[in-house]
Amino acid sequence: MTLEHRYADIVFTIALIGIFTIAAITVAEALAHPEDFAEKVRGIFNGTIKEDHTQARIGVYIFAIAPLFGLLYVISWSISRRETIMLVKAVIILIIIVLALTGFVKVHI
Amino acid sequence: MVELFFLPLLFLLTVGIATVAVMAGVGGGVLFTPLMLAFTGLDVNFVRAAGLALAMTDSVVGGRRYLKAGATKLNIVLFGSVALAVGSSVGAVLGVGIVKWFGVVGEAIVRIALGLLIMFVIYVMWKFRRKEGEIAKSSGSEWGRRLGLFGIFHDPALGKEVKYHARNVGYGFLCFFGVGFIAGMFGVGGGWAIVPTLHIVMGLPLKVSVGSSVASFVVGDMPGFWIYVNEGVVAPTLLAPVMLGPLIGATIGSKLALRVKTHVIRTAVLTVMAIASVNLIIRGLQQLGVI
């Protein structure tokens, strides 16, 4: 297995977990509170709802963090491919700067 | 009545978009976002965040296939991702900001700008038609060597090994930044621009360019997507059908692609995009009270 294989598998697996988490929680919410859910969907469809407070957000976080796990794996696995490490570090530093600037660290951790 | 079946319909629509997009050789986001903003009353931010998530899902599914086939190298993907990440962050901040600061006028600006952008995308896609077996002549550059943007891949169509070495790395970086900005700002993918950038500007073989383009978006669009998440303008309820669609549609599309005439599908997709772009501009002008 090459580095590309492993990276692709890790990102795909974690992203898939995120997607199915979103779908599962959304279906569970729809079954648990059908009226509230229908009201929310109507609001989203009509553009009257501007924020969606649902537990399915955890799935969004998992999906959006998936590439970071892939990159961290690349760093831990490939010590010999220097230029790869340099690029991975650049991406990770960028992502951390973005998260810090947008207040993620302060608000969510 | 439509509201009741909205989510199942959205799921079917994204399956259809992903199927057609694969056959036409475009990203799902470049179809999804204009269609949603042109023909539905959904919130602009929700749609853009969903479009970005759709482009990332396409990238996760398609990128894995290309990476495993050896049609791209992680170094090229990461090089593109660095510039895309910077661009998508700036674009997302500006995109969310325009709507927050200017309200309805901001939404109108986004719609009109996206309409014009889609017209430009149609022009680029019409002008740059992929030719199988075409290999770019590349002399390679020093920065291409330093960053490891070179390699060999086995082209099954040609039945031989193809060597490549990237050139014009600086220009390529700038192009990636621009595409990232557009992706973050409008929630559309950028394969229509990345493939010509990698192939024409950086001199990589076409198949390597397509593979690298697809695989780059999941990392490159991530910071932009996080900005939408942090601003609280991502609707997970909307994402559920939107992200499941490509998982099924991409598989159907790749199987059907071998049986149908690609140029017919491509013309149909470009026509739909043209209609959506005109409608986007009209809706934007209506929001501004011009017409």
- State the smallest CA–CA distance between residue B163 and chain A in angstroms: 18
Residues of chain A positioned with their CB less than 8 A from the CB of B233: 50-51
Whether residue B244 and residue A94 make contact (CB cut-off 8 A), yes or no, is: no
Asked if the Cβ–Cβ distance from A44 to B247 is below 8 Å, we say no
| A73 in contact with B, Cβ within 8 Å | no
Chain B touched by A103 (CB under 8 Å): yes
DSSP for residue B162: E
- What is the distance between the alpha carbons of residues B70 and B153, in angstroms, rounded to a whole number? 6
Q: What is the pLDDT along chain B (291 residues), one digit of tens a residue?
A: 566 688 999 999 999 998 888 777 677 888 999 999 999 889 999 999 999 999 899 889 888 888 888 888 888 988 898 889 889 988 998 999 999 899 999 999 999 999 999 999 898 888 776 554 455 555 778 888 888 888 888 877 778 888 889 989 999 999 999 999 999 999 998 888 888 888 888 988 888 888 898 888 888 888 899 889 888 889 999 999 999 998 888 888 877 876 777 778 888 888 999 999 999 999 999 999 888
pLDDT of residue A58: 92
Among A10, A22, A46, the strongest candidate for a mutation testing the B interface, having the largest count of B CBs within 10 A, is A22
Considering only CA atoms, give the Rg of chain B.
Answer: 19
Confidence class for position A54, pLDDT limits 50, 70, 90: confident
Give whole-number Cα distances, B210 to B65, B130, B140, B283, in Å.
12, 10, 19, 34
Asked whether the beta carbons of residue B68 and residue A60 sit closer than 8 angstroms, the reply is no
B177: nearest Cα among B89, B104, B255, B108: B89
What is the C-alpha to C-alpha distance for residues B90 and B222, in angstroms, rounded to an integer?
12
Q: Which of B7, B229, B244 sits opposite A41 (nearest CB)?
A: B7
Mean pLDDT over the full length of chain A = 82
Locate B273 and state its tokens: 């995009």
- Give the one of B46, B148, B244 whose C-beta lies nearest to A23's C-beta: B244
- What per-residue confidence (pLDDT) applies to B2? 64
Look at B60 and A57 and tell me if their CB atoms are within 8 Å.
Answer: no
What is the C-alpha separation between B26 and B14, in angstroms, rounded? 14
Cα-based torsion angle of the residue sequence B268, B271, B275, B277 in order, rounded to the nearest 10 degrees = 120
Cβ–Cβ below 8 Å for B240 and A4: no
Chain B CB contacts of A84 below 8 Å: 74-75, 78, 148
Burial level of B101, CB count in 10 A (0-12/13-18/19+)?
Answer: exposed
Q: Which of B288, B261, B290 is nearest to B23 (CA)?
A: B261
Give CA B126 to chain center in angstroms: 16
Cα dihedral across residues B217, B75, B87, B131: positive or negative = negative
Q: Assign A105 a pLDDT band (cuts: 50, 70, 90).
A: very low
Lowest mean pLDDT among A3-12, A70-79, A80-89, B224-233: A80-89
Alpha carbon distances (Å) from B225 to B143, B221, B260, B280: 30, 6, 34, 23
Chain B nearest C-alpha distance from A60 (Å): 7
CA distance readout (Å), B254 to A9, A15, B65: 20, 21, 11
pLDDT (0 to 100) of residue B108: 94
Supply B119's token pair.
């017209």
A47 phi/psi in degrees, rounded to 5: 80, 15
Is ipTM > 0.90 here?
A: no
Cβ distance A4 to B72 less than 8 Å, yes or no, reads yes
Domain boundaries, chain B: 2-288
3-state secondary structure of B156: coil
Residue A80 contacts B, CB cutoff 8 Å: no
Number of neighbours of residue B192 by Cβ within 10 angstroms: 23
